[in-house]
Structure 1
């Protein structure tokens, strides 16, 4: 760190209001993504699409999202303007999301209710929605490394974002609980009405927080002349030569698989496998996100270094392994135990997500000229892997048994695709993620300390 009072703001912890304004900036993305992963497959199958067609819709959105993250990351690194990208992506999300859950618009225009047209329509709007989602996500994630060079502040920003992710998810499930209670799904039209109201409410709430973010957060700008520093824009090959890049990418990919795949099959599991009340598909996820919110808030108060990141990630991974085993073995006659499992899933999700994203900041260090590419490339891997994993699982959904009765007419445990998706896949991903984290040299890479205390690049 070079001396001078002018540089102090970039290495000292930032204020709580700055952390708050940044944290709410992803609320629109979070509340729509929660609806996307929790209810999309359930919604599409309830209105008549086959599990494979529903998987195609999900995959089309994930592929569009994956490629959009790469291009968005490159353009942000070239031209900057984080807030412009964030605002444009949020606008696209708000416009397109209602069309994903609002019924088949081309079907209404053409007066054609064929399943092929429905699949095409939902796939098209899913792709548009995810392109806007990617622009918002990459710009928001990349800003962490440009707002402050202070290690603890970077983790605090990430933890704040994760805390408001939980708030967004809780908001969605509160909306869903009310809608499912007021509007009964007796027909396809009723089901579409249910999710249309959920979509409109989510967009309204999310857009309010986007406005707060844009008004309260300053645009980070480079201070150093581009000719005087190689950090102005980092070429892609620079990251590909770093072992830590591949390790962080693997940990982030596996963590997102844990969260997204488990979220996608949670509603299926509590309704189909455990045959719990309809309210459970909102209550069980709500418990998960309440626990994640509490843990995320607590993580903001911890002074961080590389060793602690590895330790907390490992703790979260081990908890998820036990949760996955419990889900695989959970019989229907003690389905209420799922509420207890949800508490530990929420704790594990927060520990893994906050530390996995913070590892990106360790990788970036003070090389903020390539932070958007790092976020974009890792998100590309995340979206492609999640899309393919859900497509493979959902393609086999029709071949899974619906139940098996023993001699006493009691439901025995059976391993359905849903149970694999919620229990086995996240547990295996957590195990591999913990193993990769064990071999990471975060301290050798400069930890979260020395590289972040070099000359400040922002104003």
Structure 2
């Protein structure tokens, strides 16, 4: 007979809050990625249109493949690292990948600023790949946690609402900050 874990019907306010803000890093990086990526590579890095578009395309393809891979792998994972939980482990892997790679996606090529184009292309493609894998990992694991946190539909809807409220706040904060720094 399968052992069942008894969960409370209603999550605490602390649990709801911590779940809600658990995706803020992904929200901020996604807003930056989708809003400033092409502009950065075209205007700041001085890549022509096509390579800037290829970087974006590489990122979207990696995101699509990673989403499928992480979805299947996180469902099949039996236990997480150090008994951390399988969803939290995949979320942590994603956060670490995003934290490590994202700054390199929006900075000058370290050690290869004056190198040939293809070396710079490979450099950025590697960090974009790591970033997109991490983003997908964090996204999938965070959404999958909802079903493991509660079995009540109303609680699931509330968790999603709180999550998207923080998405809105994160994106708005990013745009307000950018507007402040880039005003002419």
> What is the TM-score with the length of structure 2 in the denominator?
0.85
Q: Work out whether residues 7 and 150 of structure 2, in 8 Å CA contact, stay in contact via their aligned partners in 1.
A: no
Q: Which residue of 2 aligns with 1:75?
A: 73
Structure 2 counterpart of 1:98, from 88, 103, 114:
103
Query: Structure 1 residues 173 and 78 mapped into 2: Cα distance closer, same or farther (>3 Å)?
Result: same
Q: Work out whether residues 49 and 119 of structure 1, in 8 Å CA contact, stay in contact via their aligned partners in 2.
A: no
Give the C-alpha shift of residue 8 in structure 1. 7.0
1:329-355 Cα deviation digits (max 9, x unpaired): xxxxxxxxxxxxxxxxxxxxxxxxxxx
- Structure 1 runs (4+) deviating above 6 angstroms are none
Question: 2:127 & 2:91 partners in 1: Cα distance?
Answer: 19
Q: Which residue of 1 aligns with 2:181?
A: 179
Q: Which residue of 2 aligns with 1:315?
A: none
Q: Which residue of 1 aligns with 2:48?
A: 50
Give the C-alpha shift of residue 116 in structure 1. 3.4
**What SS does the corresponding residue of 2:47 show, helix, strand or coil?**
coil
Q: Work out whether residues 106 and 121 of structure 1, in 8 Å CA contact, stay in contact via their aligned partners in 2.
A: no
Question: 1:84 & 1:128 partners in 2: Cα distance?
Answer: 17
1:284-315 Cα deviation digits (max 9, x unpaired): xxxxxxxxxxxxxxxxxxxxxxxxxxxxxxxx
Structure 1 counterpart of 2:24, from 24, 27, 31:
27
Q: How large is the Cα RMSD of the aligned pairs?
A: 1.9
Q: Which residue of 2 aligns with 1:221?
A: none
Query: Structure 1 residues 57 and 106 mapped into 2: Cα distance closer, same or farther (>3 Å)?
Result: farther
1:406-447 Cα deviation digits (max 9, x unpaired): xxxxxxxxxxxxxxxxxxxxxxxxxxxxxxxxxxxxxxxxxx
**What SS does the corresponding residue of 1:70 show, helix, strand or coil?**
helix
Give the C-alpha shift of residue 118 in structure 1. 3.0
Q: Which residue of 2 aligns with 1:164?
A: 166
Give the C-alpha shift of residue 95 in structure 1. 0.8
Alignment: residue pair count: 172
Q: Work out whether residues 13 and 152 of structure 1, in 8 Å CA contact, stay in contact via their aligned partners in 2.
A: no
Question: 1:89 & 1:107 partners in 2: Cα distance?
Answer: 27
Give the C-alpha shift of residue 107 in structure 1. 1.7
Q: Which runs of 5+ in 2 are unaligned?
A: 79-85
Give the C-alpha shift of residue 91 in structure 1. 1.0
Structure 1 counterpart of 2:112, from 93, 107, 116:
107
Structure 2 counterpart of 1:63, from 56, 61, 83:
61
Q: Which residue of 2 aligns with 1:38?
A: 35
Q: Work out whether residues 89 and 134 of structure 1, in 8 Å CA contact, stay in contact via their aligned partners in 2.
A: yes
Give yes or no for the alignment of 1:154 onto 2:156.
Answer: yes
Give yes or no for the alignment of 1:14 onto 2:11.
Answer: yes
Q: Work out whether residues 62 and 127 of structure 1, in 8 Å CA contact, stay in contact via their aligned partners in 2.
A: no
Give the C-alpha shift of residue 115 in structure 1. 3.5
Question: 1:33 & 1:87 partners in 2: Cα distance?
Answer: 17
Give the C-alpha shift of residue 173 in structure 1. 1.7
> What is the TM-score with the length of structure 1 in the denominator?
0.36
Using the TM superposition, name which of 29-38 and 63-72 deviates more.
63-72
Q: Work out whether residues 86 and 140 of structure 1, in 8 Å CA contact, stay in contact via their aligned partners in 2.
A: yes
